[in-house]
Amino acid sequence: MDEKLDIHTAIKDTLPTVFGYIGIGIAFGIVGKAAGFNPLIVLLMSILIYAGSAQFITVSMLASHSPILSIVFSTFLVNSRMLLMSMTLAPYFKKESLSKNILIGTLLTDESFALGMNKLNYSGNKLSFRWFNTANGISYLTWIISSLGGALLGNFITNPEKLGLDFALVAMFIGLLYLQMISDNATSTLLQIIVIAFTLILIYVGLIFIPGNLLILLVTLLGCGFGVVIKHAFF
Amino acid sequence: MPSFNFTLLTILGCGMATWVSRVFPFILLKKFDLPKPVIDYLSFVPIVIMSALWFSSLFNQHLGSLPQVNYENLLASVPTVIGAIIFKNLLVIVIIGIVSLGVIRLIGIA
């Protein structure tokens, strides 16, 4: 990554994250097809809901005939961590028009958020609409095409995991986490490691009694609070 | 299987739900500034969210009992972390991760 914020650089910066969307998108398409939904429905889900884990939940709850309100509410809860990410990101686009802000928010993902946070460390703490919108757009298109591809391929592939593609997303989070740690000079490395270790404990303990998708939100809320407290107490 | 109309309505509802959580803060913060303590708090969001997403993939959940270690993902994480430290390049890190898990499954360790 470098300090440039043009479209060409955005494409270059976003490329590594594309594998994550392809892996999970294809998996989603296959799962959706296997649950009995036709490729059009799968496609509409990816276009309109556009949320990895939440879409898996929508599919399984639809297939098990859950009431509509509980499906919508579950989707909201699973995805509500986006509130935190949007809140963190929004100040960087304060000078842009409202419609540009809405567009950035509409296509924001875990990955484009993480990518943007990383970029800040190289760009002198600035983001541009063009850069972010390009990153978002590539992600959105890749997600739509891969999930449709998965739904169409669904008849032929029964075991998408064999290729190791499902690890692309995890590998990406590992990479982005490490790159964030080494490039963020505002927070000391020791504090970062303490917060990450605390996050591991929270995840482990939380998994015992809190459903995984809700857990990410709760852990994020608690982990950030822990970070602030430790920072003010010891750093 | 639910009817096409029910499915469509559900998708629209879920779409609204995800859209609101993405867009609402952008609209709100266009008008208001965040107080300093909140900015401090939010500065931890990136590392906490990314590590939470990573760590949750290292365990298989069984509600009510201790999580089981997902050895495949745990093992594949080792070369991925080492690759991150050596190469500091996201594309290389992702490829190392995919190949690592592929190899682990191929030779059937874990």
Burial of residue B48 (CB within 10 Å: 0-12, 13-18, 19+) is buried
Domain boundary (A166, A185, A204) is at A185
> Do residue A163 and residue A196 come from a single domain?
no
Contact A41, A58 (CB under 8 A): no
Residue A36 has pLDDT above 90, yes or no: no
What's the one-letter identity of residue A8?
Answer: H
A-chain CB neighbours of B35 within 8 Å are none
| Mean pLDDT, range B30-43, rounded to an integer | 85
A87 and B42 in contact by Cβ < 8 A? yes
Amino acid at site A232: H
Q: Rounded mean pLDDT of B80-89?
A: 93
Q: Is residue A158 part of a domain?
A: yes
What local confidence, expressed as pLDDT, does residue A101 receive? 96
Task: Single out the residue of A235, A173, A151 nearest to residue A17, CA to CA.
Answer: A173
| Mean pLDDT along residues B17-30 | 93
User: What are residue B60's phi and psi, to 5 degrees?
Assistant: -105, 130
On whether any CB of chain B is under 8 Å from the CB of A179, the answer is: yes
Q: Is residue A217 domain-resident? A: yes
Residue A104 has pLDDT above 90, yes or no: yes
pLDDT of residue B38: 85
Residues A165 and A192 in one domain: no
pLDDT of residue A11: 95
Q: Are residues A146 and A220 in the same domain?
A: no
Residues A214 and A108 in one domain: no
Whether the per-residue pLDDT at B84 is higher than 60: the answer is yes
Give the pLDDT confidence score for residue A7 in this predicted structure: 92
In a domain, A196, yes or no: yes
Q: What is the pLDDT of residue A65?
A: 83
pLDDT in tens, A47-94: 999 987 788 878 878 887 888 988 898 788 778 888 989 999 999 999
Q: Residue A157 has what pLDDT?
A: 64
**pLDDT (0 to 100) of residue B95:** 84
Domain assignment present for A1: no
Amino acid A158: pLDDT = 60
Mean pLDDT calculated for residue range A188-193 = 94
Share of chain A above pLDDT 90, in %: 53
Segment 64-103 of chain B within 8 Å of chain A by CB? 64-67, 73, 76-77, 80-81, 84-85, 88-91, 93-103
List the helix and strand counts (H, then E) for chain A.
Answer: 11, 0
The residue type at A74: S
- Contact residues, chain B, for A202 at CB < 8 Å: 52
| A98 within some domain | yes
Within a domain: A172: yes
Relative orientation angle of helices A168-183 and A110-120, to the nearest 10 degrees? 20
Return the minimum-mean-pLDDT range out of A4-8, A61-65, B72-76. A61-65
C-alpha neighbours within 13 Å on the C-beta side of residue A57 = 24
Tell me: do A81 and A122 sit in the same domain: yes
Which of A185, A212, A227 corresponds to the end of one domain?
A185
Q: Is residue A2 part of a domain?
A: no
Look at residue A90 in the predicted model and tell me its pLDDT: 95
pLDDT at position A168: 77
Instruction: Return mean pLDDT, chain A.
Output: 88
> Are both A159 and A84 inside the same structural domain?
yes
Residue A79 lies inside a defined structural domain of this protein: yes
| Nearest-neighbour CA in chain A from B107: distance (Å) | 12
Q: Which domain holds residue A47?
A: 7-185
Say what percent of chain A tops pLDDT 70: 96
Same domain? For A224 and A133 the reply is: no
How large is the average pLDDT for residues B60-86? Answer: 95
Give B86's contacts (C-beta < 8 A, 6+ positions apart).
none
Do A17 and A103 have their domain in common? Answer: yes
Predicted ipTM of the assembly: 0.86
Total of domains in chain A? 2
Whether residue A136 is found in the same domain as residue A193:
no
> Could you give the CA distance from residue A152 to residue A147 in angstroms, rounded to a whole number?
9
Indicate left, alpha or beta for A188 from its phi (over 0: left) and psi (-120 to 50: alpha).
beta
**Euclidean distance between CA atoms A86 and B83, whole angstroms:** 30
Question: How many C-beta neighbours within 10 Å does residue A121 have?
Answer: 17
Kindly tell me if the per-residue pLDDT of A163 is higher than 70: no
| Residue that terminates a domain, selected from A147, A165, A185 | A185
Backbone dihedral region of B109: left (phi > 0), alpha (psi from -120 to 50 degrees) or beta?
beta
Lowest mean pLDDT among A1-10, A134-143, B39-48: B39-48
The DSSP 8-state label assigned to residue B59 in this structure reads E
**What whole-number distance in Å separates Cα of residue B37 and Cα of residue B31?**
18
- If asked whether residues A198 and A230 sit together in one domain, one would say yes
What pLDDT digit, counting tens, does each position of A122-152 carry? 999 999 999 999 999 999 999 999 999 989 9
- The confidence score (pLDDT) of residue A64 equals 76
Comparing B73 with A52, which gets the higher pLDDT? B73
- Let me know whether A144 and A191 are in one domain: no
Same domain, A225 and A163: no
Count, residues in chain A: 235
CB contact under 8 A, B53 and A62: no
Any idea of the CA torsion for B53, B59, B62, B67, to the nearest 10 degrees?
-120
Q: What is the pLDDT at residue B106?
A: 87
